[in-house]
């Protein structure tokens, strides 16, 4: 795929205007208050994985509406001290899979929580274990369009609430230093991590690549790939529903969450990404922390000839080095 979005010289200064609802903060404050009144942890059960250097637990915590959400929690075997916790969010259509699939962060010495995606897990990977009992509102079959016509019904209202509750849950798990909690994600997971950074004021750090739900209106005009294509296909059938859909999407816009974030942040982006166009990532990066004065506590790495895979393992190594240096300080 050739480069199709703005040239890098323009992306570096891209600060999109967004149609932010007047009650954006109130919407999320009331949502999190309503669905965050109870202790998040339900159960923490050790599991046998066949790995001798990692210990893993099957965690269930209360997410949106108190619904049980599953997660894998892992620590390096034999680690006795309190560890920083990395909360990782999975990509679109993917579930938590099997406990031995994602070992980078635990091998780097962190406690690691991988949250399951409610109502997802059937598109690739090794499946998920968390149903979404609230998926009956009007909308299409894909997660991106479930409940699309009303903010209170939208799938991402529930999923973002789960993500915030995952941070609260990991802080209550054994061997975790609650003051050093980090949100990590790529694609949909990046969008969730960015939302967490905007809603959890004491997050220690954010690492996000190719985030979904950033610059949504522009992305819908640029690409038919992935989740944005599902939204466009739905609107092509439900003609005249654009106004309601755009209003709903404005409550999950990543640029709005980015403006409110406070944690130091590390971004990555492939400039040929047709799934999550790079102007969305740069829009979130350039406006990141503008309401909170994050200042110089952010950086971004661009990969001009890469698509949605971005910098892949090269970028992961940059993430590891950046986070280790940040926490050491």
**In this predicted structure, what is the pLDDT of residue 128?**
93
CA neighbours within 13 Å on the CB side: how many for 52? Answer: 0
Average pLDDT, the chain: 95
User: Using CA atoms, how far apart are residues 278 and 214, in angstroms rounded to an integer?
Assistant: 9
Q: What is the percentage of the chain residues whose pLDDT exceeds 90?
A: 91
Does position 1 have pLDDT exceeding 80, yes or no? no
User: Using CA atoms, how far apart are residues 127 and 117, in angstroms rounded to an integer?
Assistant: 10
Inter-axis angle of helices 242-250 and 226-237, to 10 degrees? 150
pLDDT grade, residue 237 (50/70/90)?
Answer: very high
Using CB atoms within 10 Å of the CB of residue 26, give its burial: 0 to 12 exposed, 13 to 18 middle, 19+ buried: exposed
pLDDT tens profile 250-263: 999 999 999 999 99
> pTM value?
0.97
**In this predicted structure, what is the pLDDT of residue 308?**
96
User: Using CA atoms, how far apart are residues 318 and 90, in angstroms rounded to an integer?
Assistant: 19
Using CB atoms within 10 Å of the CB of residue 92, give its burial: 0 to 12 exposed, 13 to 18 middle, 19+ buried: buried
- The catalytic residues are 187, 273, 308
Q: Look at residues 130, 173, 134 and name the one whose alpha carbon lies nearest to residue 43.
A: 173
Q: Are 127 and 95 in contact (CB under 8 A)?
A: yes
User: Using CA atoms, how far apart are residues 140 and 162, in angstroms rounded to an integer?
Assistant: 21
Give mean pLDDT, residues 167-172: 97
Using CB atoms within 10 Å of the CB of residue 247, give its burial: 0 to 12 exposed, 13 to 18 middle, 19+ buried: middle
pLDDT tens profile 266-308: 999 999 999 999 999 999 999 999 999 876 699 999 999 999 9
């Amino acid at each position: 795929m050739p480069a199709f979005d703005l040239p890098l010289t323009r992306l570096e200064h891209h600060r999109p205007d967004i149609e932010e609802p007047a009650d954006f903060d109130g919407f999320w404050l009331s949502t999190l208050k309503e669905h965050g009144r109870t202790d998040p942890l339900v159960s923490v059960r050790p599991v046998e994985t066949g790995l001798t250097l990692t210990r893993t637990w099957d965690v269930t915590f209360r997410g949106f509406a108190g619904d049980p959400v599953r997660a894998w929690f892992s620590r390096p075997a034999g680690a006795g001290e309190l560890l920083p916790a990395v909360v990782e969010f999975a990509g679109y259509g993917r579930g938590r899979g099997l406990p031995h699939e994602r070992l980078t962060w635990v091998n780097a010495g962190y406690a690691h929580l991988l949250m399951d995606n409610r109502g997802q897990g059937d598109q690739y990977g090794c499946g998920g274990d968390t149903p979404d009992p609230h998926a009956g509102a009007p909308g299409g079959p894909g997660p991106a369009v479930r409940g699309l016509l009303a903010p209170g019904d939208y799938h991402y209202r529930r999923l973002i609430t789960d993500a915030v509750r995952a941070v609260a849950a990991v802080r209550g798990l054994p061997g975790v230093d609650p003051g050093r909690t980090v949100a990590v994600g790529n694609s949909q997971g990046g969008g969730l991590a960015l939302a967490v950074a905007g809603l959890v004021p004491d997050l220690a750090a954010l690492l996000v690549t190719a985030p979904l739900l950033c610059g949504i209106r522009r992305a819908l005009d640029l690409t038919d790939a992935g989740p944005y294509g599902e939204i466009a296909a739905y609107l092509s059938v439900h003609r005249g529903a654009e106004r309601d859909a755009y209003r709903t999407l404005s409550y999950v816009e990543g640029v709005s969450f980015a403006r409110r974030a406070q944690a130091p942040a590390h971004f990555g982006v492939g400039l040929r990404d047709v799934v999550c166009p790079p102007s969305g990532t740069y829009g979130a990066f350039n406006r990141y922390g503008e309401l909170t004065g994050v200042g110089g506590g952010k950086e971004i790495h661009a990969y001009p000839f890469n698509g949605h895979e971005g910098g892949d393992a090269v970028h992961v190594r940059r993430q590891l080095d950046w986070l280790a240096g940040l926490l050491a300080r």
